[in-house]
Amino acid sequence: MKIFVATHNAHKLREISQILPGLEVAADDPEGVEETAPDFVGNAFIKVRAIAARHPGAWCMADDSGLEVDALDGAPGVRSARYAGEPSDSARNNALLLKNLEGASDRSAHFTCAIALIAPDGTEHLAVGRCFGKIALSPSGAGGFGYDPLFLPEGFATSFAELSADAKNAISHRGRALAEVRRILGGRQSA
């Protein structure tokens, strides 16, 4: 079974193939499509609808994810990639996050990953995964990407950036959303 994924990111495509073995995964870049929704679910559907129009009768999916910090009223949220401005820069985003949390007693945060799917018959499906934790006082670890060096997942003394890819996938927002995608596709393998 083939599925089109709305991304230009080879790393994301590889990760999806690893978590969804047996699927033929093909990228289709939704370039130029504006992510104007106020939340991850809305943006995931904007992207998947854009590519599904080009692949009638095929499975299509798109994801949108980011970090929400309680003490910052859910920021960075849908602006996670560009929290410190354009172009997207993880080191600057992390520095701004630490600055905005200076003196905060509550450092609770969670990642969300929303994956929108369109089936060959046109029906729409949604898988959402979350991972709760806290923002560290300083970065640690060299793995992962984005806010990983600052995110301490619940039940762990280490940051996401200190976990192996497999260990992170087992508990991450993306890993959890993709596990749900596997359940959705498992029941409907056609086309």
Q: Applying CB under 6 A, which of residues 101, 111, 152, 176 lies at the interface with ligand IMP?
A: 111
132 scored as a contact of ligand IMP (CB under 6 A): no
Task: Find tokens 């699927």 and name the residue.
Answer: 23
DSSP 8-state symbol, 138: S
Q: Applying CB under 6 A, which of residues 20, 65, 97, 181 lies at the interface with ligand IMP?
A: 65
Q: State which amino acid sits at residue 52.
A: A
Q: Which of residues 140-159 bind ligand IMP (CB under 6 A)?
A: 144-148
CB of residue 90 vs ligand IMP: minimum separation in angstroms?
Answer: 6
Radius of gyration of the chain (CA): 17
CB of residue 191 vs ligand IMP: minimum separation in angstroms?
Answer: 26
Which element (helix H / strand E) includes 42?
helix 40-52
Catalytic residue among 28, 29, 39, 64: 64
Which element (helix H / strand E) includes 173?
helix 173-186
Establish whether 121 is a catalytic residue. no
Q: Which residue is nearest to ligand IMP (CB)?
A: 146
Q: Which of residues 5-44 bind ligand IMP (CB under 6 A)?
A: none
CB of residue 56 vs ligand IMP: minimum separation in angstroms?
Answer: 26
Task: Find tokens 């806010």 and name the residue.
Answer: 147
Interacting residues of 47 by C-beta distance below 8 A, sequence separation 6+ = 6, 30, 33, 35, 62, 64, 116
Cα angle for residues 86, 92, 97 (degrees, 5° grid): 110
Q: Which of 23/176 has CB closer to ligand IMP?
A: 176
CB of residue 114 vs ligand IMP: minimum separation in angstroms?
Answer: 9
45 scored as a contact of ligand IMP (CB under 6 A): no
80 scored as a contact of ligand IMP (CB under 6 A): yes
179 scored as a contact of ligand IMP (CB under 6 A): no
Distance CA 132, CA 155 (A): 10
Distance CA 32, CA 163 (A): 34
Query: Smallest Cα–Cα separation from 20: which of 185, 132, 130, 158?
Result: 185
162 scored as a contact of ligand IMP (CB under 6 A): no
Question: Checking DSSP bridges between strand 108-118 and strand 124-135, what pairing results, if any?
Answer: antiparallel
Site residues (vs ligand IMP, CB under 6 A): 64-67, 80-81, 88, 111, 144-148, 160, 172, 174
